[in-house]
Amino acid sequence: RHVYRIASIPGDGIGIEVTEAALEVLKAAVQKSGKYTIEATHIPWGTAFYKETGSYLPDDFRSTLKSYDAILFGAVGAPDVPDHISLWELLLKMRGPMQLYANVRPIRCFTKPRLDAEPAHLDWLLVRENSEGEYSGHGGRSHVDQNWEVATDTNVYTRHGIRRIMKFAFEAASKRPRKHLTVVSKSNALRYGLVLWDEVAKETAKDFPDVTWDKELVDAMTIRMVQKPWTIDTVVGTNLHIDILSDLAAALAGSIGIAPSANLDPERQNPSLFEPVHGSAFDIMGKGIANPIGAIWAAANMLEWLGEQESADAILNAIAHVCNEKKVTADMGGDLNTKQAAAAICEQLLK
């Protein structure tokens, strides 16, 4: 039986609670399949580690992670550490430098949409450029604390970076039943980077004649998501644009607690990282009530990436089933806690 080596990095807050739940479901998936096993190694990187050692990650983190087939991540962020430090020292240090450039955020509605639409209208695939753009890390502050202080965050777009994410998005769209891609942009105001973005989209479209595509400015895209969700299938956008749109999409489809995020290196030079879209949720951490579905769906996406499609499908079916039966947490109108919600999915999976 094949053994998959997984690096489990629960991180902080509810990240720890939902990762534990996802690992339980992975155990059930292994039991059900009988074709492979999973060896999950706990890696304690996060705010407690930072307070102990002075850094969120050891210097050799990339070589450590290279020995794993995939990474299961929870969330990072703590009330007593500035968010830009925790995020840039842990999660963003993995995404960009490890070239996990394709961030895939599927949206499905397992209950009632929070808008006037059918659940089937909210079946989207959001593709986020995950390595450059607004998150390039370039910028700085001059004359700190002076009246004439200037602060910049430089948006960096490269033809190579745009081309590879466009290719990925068109390919992803071509594999979906509707084969439609919406390219989100803001090329009216951002006249260099996002004009290049639109140009490369147009060029790439030529290689995918079976995919229909259109363009939408990001502000208008928020309207379209709410008012005409059935016109949307696959979406590609910049790092910051899809960050924002994916929270909106998840909320429209039910709850931020169900949304998964796959940070992929399509060239498979580095292990890909799977996580829920949500963060460490200061307001509910420690209460044991976080919705584990985002983390569990992320684990299913990890199995799919590793080639275990059957297990991935089985987990998705189990999620759909428990949602239908309202065996869910409070954010989705149920009354289960995190452990009970995960147990319901395991039970359904093993039926």
Contact positions vs ligand NAD (CB under 6 A): 14, 18, 75-77, 83, 87, 91, 256-257, 275, 278-284, 290-291, 294, 331
> What are the phi and psi torsion angles at 294 (to 5°)?
-55, -45
State the binding string over 230-259 for Mn ion (x if CB under 5 A, else -): -------------x----------------
- Least CB distance to ligand IPM at residue 216 (A): 20
Which residues are tagged catalytic?
Answer: 135, 186, 219, 243, 247
- Least CB distance to ligand IPM at residue 277 (A): 5
- Least CB distance to ligand NAD at residue 160 (A): 26
CA dist., res. 182 & res. 203, Å (int): 15
Residues in the chain: 351
**If you search the block for the tokens 């995950």, which residue do you land on?**
130
State the binding string over 89-108 for ligand IPM (x if CB under 6 A, else -): --xx----------------
The conformation of residue 253, written as its DSSP 8-state character, comes to T
- Least CB distance to Mn ion at residue 280 (A): 12
Candidate ranges 22-30, 86-94, 149-157, 193-201; the one touching ligand IPM (CB under 6 A): 86-94
CA dist., res. 31 & res. 48, Å (int): 33
CA dist., res. 237 & res. 302, Å (int): 22
CA dist., res. 82 & res. 50, Å (int): 12
Classify strands 234-237 and 124-129 as parallel, antiparallel or unpaired. parallel
What 3-state class would DSSP assign to 218? helix
The binder of 8, among ligand IPM, ligand NAD, Mn ion, none, by C-beta within 5 to 8 A per type, is none
Near ligand IPM by CB under 6 A: residue from 74, 96, 254, 279? 279
232 is written with which tokens? 């949307």
The binder of 284, among Mn ion, ligand NAD, ligand IPM, none, by C-beta within 5 to 8 A per type, is ligand NAD
- The smaller minimum CB distance to ligand IPM, of residues 254 and 279, is found at 279
Nearest to 133 by CA among 93, 104, 165: 165
Question: By the 8 A CB rule, do 268 and 306 touch?
Answer: no
* Burial label, 51 (beta-carbon count in 10 A; 0-12, 13-18, 19+): exposed
State the binding string over 234-253 for ligand IPM (x if CB under 6 A, else -): ---------x----------
Amino acid letter, residue 80: D
The binder of 280, among ligand NAD, ligand IPM, Mn ion, none, by C-beta within 5 to 8 A per type, is ligand NAD
Q: Which residues bind ligand IPM (CB under 6 A)?
A: 87, 91-92, 243, 261, 277, 279
